[in-house]
């Protein structure tokens, strides 16, 4: 017997029977399970941070554990055992240019939960000119591709938290402190856990807008700031405390480095800095980041995956030039950056200044293949040495005229 199909095709009955038999004997493989990524353990997270951030070992460890515990809290929610895991929001305190924002940004690349970085300086109390606090949540929802339930388990980094300290000298009976205490009050609700109404277009809330509702109970908050002036508050308290115990306070405090002073910070100091007690209570983990020392600054130049020197070498290689920094040039750059008020931030400026003239001239100088930077160049006493294909070397004069060496 033959079964006719459409058009001219036909299959005999015996073939259909054999095919059926074969299919029964060898069933098709079950559809592959969707691949589940196993979450990163603290060591993995730390290793990722290590690839981009130099030093700050303690902060890296605390962040790695906090993030891992955050994952655990999410699993625990799925398998309720009756024990509720509370979140432990984190406060990173450290001088300008020591890697706070860099840590947050690197974490953002590392994690597979939604992560948003935002800045506290732009926030004001609702009803006043500036951004509403809910816009922070909008960033997170955007990071979660508008999946609100995913965003509800996300992590938010609030940078420059110190800028919303209560303003000194504000007479609160006359002027409202709308970018300081007012913002703290509103941030409090979100950090603590509430169902917030977020305007999907961002900006200010207005009555005829539809809101996205997001529960912030499981969102982990990491805050950071330079907290200028906090060391003085801590050392004042230490000095008065130590002298009360009968030691020669002054001498001892003088010897302490800025970092070890900050690491002795207690919640009371943050209150004095201008934070309301409820806010301090909701940031139970505080980490003092170290100002980078000479050695760390040298490592910042060369070690991270996108270290400053590597970036310039890449720029030069596009022009077909090999850029070389001698060891003493790195030392010189670190020497002038150490103790600088902008920390590692000034390293880029130092290198940029040293290379400016060469970057200006190089594309017009066809046969240069190498450019060598030494201590003199960094200190501004010379321009980099340029080497041509034929092995000749010369320097541009400081006023950008070509000069044979
Ligand atoms: N620990 C570090 N490791 C590697 N690079 C660093 C480190 N600290 C700072 N840098 C370099 O300095 C730049 C500025 O650092 P970052 O933005 O993290 O400073 P910050 O601590 O947030 O300062 P601020 O308080 O001014 O915001 C970074 O882009 C990076 O190039
Ligand atoms: Mg920063």
Do residue 347 and residue 201 come from a single domain?
no
Helix (H) or strand (E) holding 371: strand 368-373
Q: How far apart are CA 386 and CA 383, in angstroms?
A: 9
Cα→Cα distances 191→89, 180, 183, 272, 285, Å: 8, 16, 12, 21, 14
Residue 227 lies in a domain: yes
Residue 345 Cα to ligand 1 midpoint, Å, equals 6
Q: Return the ligand 1 atom nearest residue 98 CA.
A: 8
Q: Which two tokens stand for residue 236?
A: 């004042």
Residue 3: inside a domain? no
Q: Is the CB of 142 under 6 A from ligand 1?
A: no
Q: Let me know if residue 205 belongs to a domain.
A: yes
Q: Look at the chain and report how many structural domains it folds into.
A: 2
pLDDT of 384 reads: 95
Q: How far apart are CA 310 and CA 331, in angstroms?
A: 16
Counting Cα atoms < 13 Å in the Cβ hemisphere of 7 gives 1
Whether 86 and 148 map to the same domain: the answer is yes
Is the pLDDT at 176 greater than 60? The verdict is no
| CATH code of 242's domain | 3.40.50.300
Is the pLDDT at 245 greater than 50, yes or no?
Answer: no
Q: So what's the pLDDT on residue 108?
A: 83
pLDDT at 294 over 90: yes
* Digit-coded pLDDT (tens) for 96-140: 999 998 998 898 888 878 999 988 887 766 555 556 788 889 999
User: Over the stretch 43-64, which tens digit does the pLDDT of each residue have?
Assistant: 999 999 999 999 999 999 999 9
With cut-offs at 50, 70 and 90, classify the pLDDT of residue 350.
very high
The pLDDT, as a whole number, for residue 185 is: 86
The residue to mutate among 291, 311, 344, having the most atoms of ligand 1 within 8 angstroms of its beta carbon, is 344
Q: Is residue 14 part of a domain?
A: no
Q: With 50 as the cut, is the pLDDT of residue 250 above it? A: no
At 240, phi and psi to the nearest 5?
-70, -40
- Are residue 121 and residue 217 in the same domain, yes or no? yes
DSSP classification of residue 123: B
Is the domain of 159 the same as that of 261?
yes
Same domain, 308 and 270: no
Protein residue with least CA distance to atom 6, ligand 1: 99
Between 78 and 381, whose confidence is greater? 381
Tokens of 13: 């009955």
281 and 300 in a single domain? The answer is no
Answer yes or no: do 267 and 339 share one domain: no
Residue 32 belongs to a domain:
no
264 plus 301 within the same structural domain: no
Q: Are residues 264 and 224 in the same domain?
A: yes
Q: Are residues 104 and 197 in the same domain?
A: yes
Residue 389 in this model has a pLDDT that exceeds 50: yes
What's the pLDDT score for residue 321? 95
Q: What is the pLDDT of residues 115-127, one digit of tens each?
A: 999 888 877 665 5
Q: Is residue 336 part of a domain?
A: yes
Total residue length of the chain: 405
Rounded distance from Cα 61 to ligand 1 centre (Å): 18
| Range in 19-33, 196-210, 263-277, 293-307 with the lowest mean pLDDT | 19-33
Ligand 1: which residue has its CA nearest to atom 26? 96
Final residue of a domain: which of 260, 288, 316?
288
Note whether 232 and 350 are same-domain residues.
no
Residue 7 in domain: no
Q: Are β-strands 285-288 and 90-93 bridged in parallel, bridged antiparallel, or unpaired?
A: parallel
61 C-alpha to ligand 2 centroid (Å): 19
Return the best residue to mutate from 50, 57, 97 for the ligand 1 pocket (most ligand atoms within 8 A of CB): 97
Please tell me whether residues 113 and 162 are part of one structural domain.
yes
309 lines ligand 1 (CB under 6 A): no
| pLDDT of amino acid 28 | 59
Last residue of a domain, one of 288, 309, 339: 288
345 lines ligand 1 (CB under 6 A): yes
233 assigned to some structural domain: yes
Q: For all residues of the chain together, what is the average pLDDT?
A: 82
- What is the CATH number for 373? 1.10.8.60
- Distances in Å between the Cα of 367 and the Cα atoms of 52, 391, 403 are 35, 10, 15
The range of the structural domain enclosing residue 199 comes to: 42-168+176-288
pLDDT at 5: 63
Q: Are 377 and 383 in contact (CB under 8 A)?
A: yes
- pLDDT over threshold 90, residue 166: no
122 lines ligand 1 (CB under 6 A): no
Instruction: Identify the domain boundary among 268, 288, 308.
Output: 288
């Amino acid at each position: 017997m033959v079964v006719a199909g459409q058009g001219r095709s036909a299959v005999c009955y015996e073939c259909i029977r054999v095919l059926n038999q074969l299919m029964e004997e060898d069933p098709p493989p079950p559809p592959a399970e969707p691949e589940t990524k196993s979450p990163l353990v603290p060591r993995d997270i730390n290793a990722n941070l290590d690839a981009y951030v130099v030093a700050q070992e303690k902060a890296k460890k605390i962040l790695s554990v906090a993030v891992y515990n955050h994952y655990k809290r999410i699993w625990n929610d799925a398998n309720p055992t009756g024990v509720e895991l509370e979140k432990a929001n984190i406060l990173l305190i450290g001088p300008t240019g020591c890697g706070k924002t860099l840590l947050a940004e690197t974490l953002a690349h590392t994690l597979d939960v939604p992560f948003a970085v935002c800045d506290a300086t732009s926030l004001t109390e609702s009803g006043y000119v500036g951004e509403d606090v809910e816009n922070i949540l909008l960033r997170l929802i955007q990071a979660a591709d508008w999946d609100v339930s995913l965003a509800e388990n996300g992590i938010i980094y609030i940078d420059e938290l110190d800028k919303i300290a209560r303003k000194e000298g504000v007479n609160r009976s006359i002027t409202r402190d709308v970018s300081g205490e007012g913002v703290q009050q509103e941030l409090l609700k979100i950090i603590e856990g509430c169902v917030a109404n977020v305007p999907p277009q961002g900006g200010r809330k207005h009555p005829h807008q539809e809101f996205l509702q997001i529960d912030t109970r499981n969102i982990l908050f990491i805050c950071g700031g330079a907290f200028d002036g906090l060391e003085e508050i801590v050392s004042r308290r230490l000095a008065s405390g130590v002298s009360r115990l009968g030691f020669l306070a002054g001498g001892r405090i003088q010897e302490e480095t800025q970092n070890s002073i900050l690491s002795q910070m207690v919640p009371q100091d943050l209150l004095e800095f201008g934070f309301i007690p409820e806010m301090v209570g909701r940031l139970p983990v505080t980490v003092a980041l170290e100002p980078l020392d000479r050695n760390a600054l040298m490592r910042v130049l060369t070690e991270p995956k996108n270290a400053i020197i590597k970036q310039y070498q890449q720029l030069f290689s596009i022009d077909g030039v090999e850029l070389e920094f001698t060891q003493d040039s790195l030392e010189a750059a670190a020497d002038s950056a150490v103790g600088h008020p902008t920390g590692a931030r000034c390293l880029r400026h130092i290198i940029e200044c040293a290379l400016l003239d060469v970057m200006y001239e190089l594309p017009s100088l066809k046969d240069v293949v190498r450019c060598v930077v030494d201590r003199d160049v960094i200190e501004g006493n010379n321009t980099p040495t340029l080497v041509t294909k034929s092995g000749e070397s010369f320097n541009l004069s400081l006023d950008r005229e070509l000069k044979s060496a």
